[in-house]
Structure 1
Amino acid sequence: MYIKDLYAISPQKTHDLSFENGDWQVLNEYIYKAIEPSYQDLIPNAQLRRMGKAVRMGIGVSLPLLGRNPKPDGIIFGTANGGLEDCIKFLNQIVEYNEGTLTPTNFVQSTPNALAGQVALLSENQGYNMTHVNGSLAFESALMDASLYFDEHSGTEKNLLLGAVEEISDYNYNIDRLGERFKEELVSNEELLNSGTKGSYCGEGSTQFYLSSNPENSLARFSAFKQSSHLSPDEIQAFVIDFLEENNLQRKDIDCLLLGKSGDVNTDSWYEEVEPLFENTPVVYFKKSVGEYRTVSAFASYLAVRLLNGQAKHLLQNQATGIPRTILIYNHFDAVRHSLILIQK
């Protein structure tokens, strides 16, 4: 699957490429909120004020990509929660109005597939449309769906819009905080990985890719991916090595490693099992830039493509002398669901 174009809204200034050009934001907050661009030139005001944040961020990424590329043959998104804020508002209205006349806007945006539907309506796209709501493997499931789509239509040039979106709502944030997924004390993201305490900080964002079966003028490609659940620390190294062997790669072939270390003393040890496999390989910890959320592997993939094209070199911090050509991403959420993504130039 060849990546022709990409765009992201995140807690860093990715929307105007400031992040890629060296502007790394120091975050000293409990919640890493997305830095959103002005939507005035993209979305009519009448529609904008009715959009929940997840839909707004998603549309704000989709429309620029669709505006500079041919109409895709399908739209595939992954999300763990969708627009949960609007969902809770709708459920509360059911009680408040005693199942009477409810606000249609909150109903329309209360389901995870609201973004995919909105993008299809705004772009008049009647092609394949799918949203995967597989928790912390939602983006990986979307990747698998896209791969199957291209395999099914092999021999014919096809294009897909692939992405992920996640918003921070008070409801899911408080639930995750009570589950000790987030820190009680405050440290900056510069010190996050050395905090030595439980939990991380919550992030959000929307990341999307314009994919094609045609390699011409591509930025990079999704070469392979793999997911698994309920692994033990003793199984992680074999999980990674088997993945490399399945793709005819050796450890020395990996030019850069992207790891999802989040500063959580309870779960970062899984990453420490992987790092020794790749001695002298540059490592980038992407969660200290954007925080922890269930589809953060989409942002990691975005970052990998930028690194493969010579951008965001400040993240390597003089660890490498050249531009990488093969990047391996390893991420997990709660040390329960694990994923590997291989992206190559």
Structure 2
Amino acid sequence: MTQSPAIPLPPPKERRRLREAGSLTQAQVAERVGVTRETVRAWESGRTNPRGRKREAYAKLLGSLPEEVTPRQEEPAAPEQAPEPPALTPEPDPPTPPLTPAQAFDALYAFCAPALVRQAYLLTGRRELSRESVERAFQLAWQRWPEVAVDRDPAGWVRATAYEYALSPWHRFRPRYRHPEPPPADASDRALLDALLRLPPPYRRTLLLYDGVGLDLPETAAETEASTPAAAGRLLRAREAIAARLPELSDPVELHRRLAELASTERLRAAKPPTVRTGSERRARFWTRAAIAFTVALIGTTALTVRTAPTHYEPPIAPGAEIQGVPPRVAQGALSEAEVELREKLRSGMTSGPERLAPLSR
């Protein structure tokens, strides 16, 4: 069996130039091709390349962009004016002020949080847990912002953290998450969500990243901490399980569309960026104070132990040992023949010497 040759694509810089020449945004290109905005950004940066039907649709769109460019209307010629004398020194462009850490964090949150909440809902089927997972992920990102800000893919860092928190098995022990939430109103949405939740968490996550978010197989494997063959196996088994329950979703394109529709039907709103930053700072202060209190208690306990501990070694009292040769002590009673004989001997010998005194009765 021979494979058809891949459709040629222009270089990454040329892809971006063609999109900008066609006055299209990355979101518009993503909507036409059927992927996410992050995927289009990765294609234009050269980190990844499209494949299959997405590659064909993307190449066709890029090939039609020059034809969609509308020619500029000729502007009326301005009246001739006297030429201005050239300036002695060129005026430099005003430098663009860099974003503050809070502004950069807010921009990342506004770009990623709404989509992440919907993705977490597909992973868990719980609305409140989805919002909580995204907020906790961004709180951790704000605490480690110097590390996240220079990461190659900050959005991927936050997404991986949110997925890990959402799929944590410890949520089952929380009282508020022991009972299921109301399912979606539409019957087809309920069937799809039920099929997703029946998948094992690694399979569910792999399917969402590949067919929902639009990552390629190596990126999906890296984010799920698996090898590429293992990620491919999980993806195929997840698709087979979905197709067995919902045969109409055997086509990956249709599955991607239905996943996007299911995520968009629920009204899931994320908190405001300042609220997340404030919560992160409050949480950091709490744990800092708890660590300080624990350290103070440990120091106090150590000082008390040192104060009350003995200053010299006291050997323990040895256990008693049995002494041999001592006649056992007997209770009072009649004298034996030997004792009677001894008593008589003592009584008879008390006056046998001048140095002995014997009491005389009067």
TM-score by length of 2: 0.20
Q: Larger radius of gyration, structure 1 or 2? A: 2
Looking at both structures, which has the greater relative contact order when contacts are Cα pairs under 8 Å and sequence separation is at least 6? 1
Larger % of helix: which?
A: 2
Task: Please state which structure has a larger fraction of its residues in strand.
Answer: 1
